[in-house]
Amino acid sequence: MSLRLNVAANYASQLYATLIGILLIPLYLKWMGAEAYGLIAFFSMLQSWFIVLDLGLTLTIARESARYFGGALAPRDYRHLYRVLSLFFVMVALIGGGALVALAPIIAQRWLNLQQLPIQDIVVALQIMGACVAMRWMGGLYRGVATGAERFVWLGGFNALVATLRFAAVFASMALWGYTPKVFFLHQMAVAALELGILYAMARRLVPRPAASDPPIGWSFAPVAMRLRFSLTIAFTSAVWIFVTQIDKLILSGLLPLAEYGFFMVAVLVAGGITTATGPIGSALLPRLARLHAEGNHGEILRIYHRFAQLVSVVAGSLMVTLASCPESLLFAWTGDRELSRVAAPVLRLYAIGNGLLAMSAFPFYMQYARGNLRYHLIGNVGLIALLIPGIVFAALRFGGVGVGWVWMGMNVVYLFGWVAFVHGRLEPGLHVEWIQRNVLTIMVPTSLVGLVVAVLHHGEFLSRWTALVDFALVSTACIATACVASTEIRRHLPGTRFLRG
């Protein structure tokens, strides 16, 4: 199977799953209510935190599967590793899922701020969540086997099917048995069980069968211990990233009323589109920088570093300014809910700015990854967490979700203009001033000015969702055009802009 087809299938399925999940949110709000959607958002947040328990082992089984199918790992050693990891995943699924089930009454009564939904219904929903999260996380092991075997086309189609069953088919279940959290999560549990069963069957097909003459492989932990350093490095990096990006959502789930938390999560989800849009660019950059570093081609590293920074700045900058300039236009055109648009717009504005700056702050990580040393990346993120937690708690208690948005934006401003400058100075003295002036300020400043002017000229009460959509389209078009023209890299490929090229 060609690499291009594998990559295309992977991105197509990710894009489909993301879009269907986002586009159907207005229907959840309409048929289930804001408080019930807040519970769904809490469920999504729990799944993200469960990744911390992975310890990097999903990526480990994917890596070792690739080595086995590439002929670098003996079948018996691969079966041994798969068997030990299966036991580990089952144990963690039972313990983690069981803990969520046992703690459901406490979470419902002492953590979540309910206003309308009955406590007993929430307890049942939380217990079902525990089973869902455990099964979906358990499927990560079998998904890793298929990934290592490069079954991306199959995985892409399967992921699209699962996303359809999870996000769209649930309306059929609720139409039959009621638009309640209990019905929603029972449907999710059924889909999770089906997903787990199919992934398990695929993994069974791919893992080699033992020959009649093979001795028993046992349950020794040695195969995992040999690869523990690789796993723990990934685990720590992933855990730190989850803390940075999810700690605000966890804290607010216990401080805000559940309906308000649902509105907050809608805004955060939309702002997260900036990270989703720029993620593939970073994924393409990492292996290129690592290869160039191995070749000792320092000049090409810096050239690529600047080029990709401009590309991310154009994408993240235009999205950031558009979302920050007219958040209410987008939310109302999308949901048709004036109350949600009014409440969530300030949060969306602040998170969009924070996420746009965060996309640029990732670049020192790419350089550290190429050099094989993530020390500054980990120190910076741990420091960010140490400041975020008390800041988020204080802001949430005093100012709610908007206060947390200010903290998120402020921390990312400090991180980009403070910590990134320090890391650049350590890794490549003299780089930072040119990098931020040429790749960030030159693009984001004019884009911000244009977005602000257009938003002010076209701002007003929207008579309909169509007028809101037109307002958003005008601002986004102006921002994208300005960002492209401001970028020297983009101008080289634009017809009719020879007089603008530097």
pLDDT tens track for 207-242? 887 765 566 666 566 655 665 565 566 667 667 777
**146-158 mean pLDDT:** 83
So what's the pLDDT on residue 322?
A: 93
pLDDT at 499 over 50: no
Distance CA 77, CA 232 (A): 20
- The 3 state secondary structure assigned to 161-211 is HHHHHHHHCHHHHHHHHCCCHHHHHHHHHHHHHHHHHHHHHHHHHHCCCCC
Report CA-CA distances (Å) from 458 to 261, 319, 343, 461.
30, 18, 20, 10
Identity of residue 287: P
Instruction: Using a cut of 0.85, tell me whether the model's pTM lies above it.
Output: no
Which candidate, 276, 242, 274, 344, places its Cα nearest to that of 25?
344
Taking every pair of Cα atoms in the chain, the longest distance, rounded to a whole number of angstroms, is 79
* DSSP classification of residue 502: -
Contact 35, 212 (CB under 8 A): no
Distance CA 129, CA 329 (A): 34
The tokens for 144 are: 């890793």
pLDDT at 501 over 50: no
Which range has highest mean pLDDT (278-282, 288-292, 352-356, 480-484)?
352-356
Distance CA 35, CA 438 (A): 45
Which range has highest mean pLDDT (13-22, 476-485, 486-495)?
476-485
Return the C-alpha torsion angle 170, 175, 181, 182, nearest 10: -90
- The 3 state secondary structure assigned to 162-173 is HHHHHHHCHHHH
pLDDT band at 273 (very low <50, low <70, confident <90, very high): confident
State the helix-helix crossing angle for 327-335 and 465-486, rounded to 10 degrees. 130
Distance CA 351, CA 271 (A): 6
Angle at the Cα of 61 (from 57 to 63), degrees rounded to 5? 110
pLDDT tens track for 378-396? 888 888 888 888 998 898 8
The tokens for 202 are: 């695929």
